[in-house]
């Protein structure tokens, strides 16, 4: 699946069966990101499939 991360502005190809597995592969703490598919939020338990296009938003902001 295609995974876009707004912090690095990069898109990568990855395989993962759940959001949790995806975050583990990317070494991302679930507290620091929102995971979206078609502009909808996904929880860590959500299943993923190969054709999904995922956008990861870093929640760290401000300053």
Distance of CA 43 to the CA centre of its chain: 10
Span 19-58, contacts to other proteins by CB under 8 A = 29-32, 34, 36, 39-41, 43-45, 57-58
Residue 13 to residue 32: CA distance in whole angstroms: 21
Among 6, 25, 47, 49, the residue binding other proteins under the rule CB under 8 A is 6
Q: Which is nearer to other proteins, 44 or 53 (CB)?
A: 44
Q: Which residues are registered as beta bridge partners of 58?
A: 33
DSSP H or E segment with residue 23 = helix 19-25
By CB under 8 A, name the binding residues for other proteins: 6-7, 29-32, 34, 36, 39-41, 43-45, 57-63
């Amino acid at each position: 699946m295609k995974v876009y991360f707004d912090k690095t502005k990069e898109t990568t190809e990855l395989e993962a069966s759940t959001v949790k597995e995806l975050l583990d592969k990317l070494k991302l703490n679930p507290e620091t990101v929102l995971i979206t598919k078609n502009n909808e939020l996904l929880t860590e338990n959500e299943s993923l499939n190969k054709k999904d296009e995922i956008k990861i938003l870093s929640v760290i902001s401000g300053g």
